[in-house]
Chain A
Amino acid sequence: MRWMWIDRIVEHEPGVRLVAVKNVSLAEEHLHDHFPGNPIMPAALIIEGVAQTSGIMVGAINNFKEKVLLAKVAKVELDRDAQPGDTLRYTATLDRIDDAGASTMAQVHLRNNEDGDDWQLIGEVDLLFSHADQNMSGLDLPEENFVFGDNFREILSASGLRPETV
């Protein structure tokens, strides 16, 4: 299983914002347990999708040379469930960045794909990322950039982002 919780990057303004979409599908195994008879995309996986969207935006700023790790979920507000057939859109914007890390803000929109339905703002997720090599605190991290590895290769290539380190 690939730990990818976005399907496509649809917009990228380097260092400013990155937008990705996620189609929620009944083929996703976990939805049959969450919950039986009432499939709902777990909020934790929406946060993960936002983290991937925001993390790619942060990583792209330094051409994916930094190991960008999610360090803190500063704020989460989600007002509505996402169900199979819905499309989620994560719009991440850069708040601040320096050598040590970055903070990001994101909006979560949902479209249920019925006729006439428009994007509806359903939440906000603010995150903090650490540039791991700058904050190792004695940890011995591997040389290769394990953050933007195989998992991300296809989605980055498809969106025209070609990290030097993968």
Chain B
Amino acid sequence: MTHDEIQAKVAEVLEAALGCDEDEIVADASLTADLGAESIDFLDIVFQLEKTFSTPDAPFKIDQGELFPEGILDNADWVKDGSLTDTGLAMLTERMPHVNFEGFDGSVSKVGDLITVAALVNFVEIKLNATAA
């Protein structure tokens, strides 16, 4: 599947899950900050991505915490005074290869905004390529 095909399908999923307009779904739009996604919407999006990209031969299964690591705030090694520590940032960068961290100031309150439309497309593309390899 080409990058453009993935992008188009991800946009369809976001339109259905978030009820947003096609023209709002641009690459750098943050799902939470710009498109109004709440936590439960991520479950909806995950389910719809699984359905959209699964084939009879290759199920597309997204594990909990795969798109977005869980329990970050509870870990004192990762978070200090409302910001990610160097260890925390290294962990996040390693576990979220689909995300562009450029311009991210390490503030915990902005971690949720890191999932953009482009990050979601990257996520799907990386997973599909890993399955195909």
Q: Are B43 and A101 in contact (CB under 8 A)?
A: yes
A165 within 8 A of B: no
Number of interface residues, chain A, beta carbon within 8 A: 15
Q: Are A96 and B40 in contact (CB under 8 A)?
A: no
Residue of A nearest to B44 (CB): A128
A91 to chain B, nearest CB (A): 20
Q: Are B64 and A99 in contact (CB under 8 A)?
A: yes
Q: Are B40 and A72 in contact (CB under 8 A)?
A: yes
B residues less than 8 Å from A141 (CB atoms): none
B15 within 8 A of A: no
What sequence of 0s and 1s flags, for each residue 20-58 of chain B, a beta carbon within 8 Å of any chain A beta carbon? 000000000000000000011101101100110000000
B residues less than 8 Å from A130 (CB atoms): 40, 43
A128 with B39, Cβ < 8 A, contacts A96-B50, A96-B51, A98-B64 known:
no
Q: How far is the CA of A71 from the CA of B44 in the complex (A)?
A: 10
Q: How far is the CA of A136 from the CA of B76 in the complex (A)?
A: 19
B55 to chain A, nearest CB (A): 16
* CB proximity to A under 8 Å, residues B35-89: 39-41, 43-44, 46-47, 50-51, 64
A26 within 8 A of B: no
A95 to chain B, nearest CB (A): 7
A residues less than 8 Å from B44 (CB atoms): 72, 74, 103, 128
A157 within 8 A of B: no
Q: How far is the CA of A71 from the CA of B90 in the complex (A)?
A: 33
Residue of A nearest to B19 (CB): A74
Most chain B beta-carbon neighbours within 10 Å: one of A95, A96, A100: A100
Residue of B nearest to A71 (CB): B40
B residues less than 8 Å from A95 (CB atoms): 47, 51
What sequence of 0s and 1s flags, for each residue 103-133 of chain A, a beta carbon within 8 Å of any chain B beta carbon? 1000000000000000000000000101000
B residues less than 8 Å from A74 (CB atoms): 17, 44
Q: Are A128 and B40 in contact (CB under 8 A)?
A: yes
Q: How far is the CA of A135 from the CA of B39 in the complex (A)?
A: 9
Q: How far is the CA of A25 from the CA of B46 in the complex (A)?
A: 40
Q: Are B64 and A72 in contact (CB under 8 A)?
A: no
Residue of B nearest to A70 (CB): B40
Residue from the list B39, B46, B47, B64 in contact with A137, Cβ < 8 A? B39
Residue of A nearest to B62 (CB): A98
B14 to chain A, nearest CB (A): 13
What sequence of 0s and 1s flags, for each residue 57-86 of chain A, a beta carbon within 8 Å of any chain B beta carbon? 000000000000001101000000000000
19 A-B pairs with C-beta separation under 8 A = A72-B40, A72-B41, A72-B44, A74-B17, A74-B44, A95-B47, A95-B51, A96-B50, A98-B64, A100-B43, A100-B64, A101-B40, A103-B44, A128-B40, A128-B44, A130-B43, A134-B64, A135-B43, A137-B39
Chain A to chain B: the 3 pairs with minimum beta-carbon distance, closest first = A71-B40, A96-B47, A103-B47
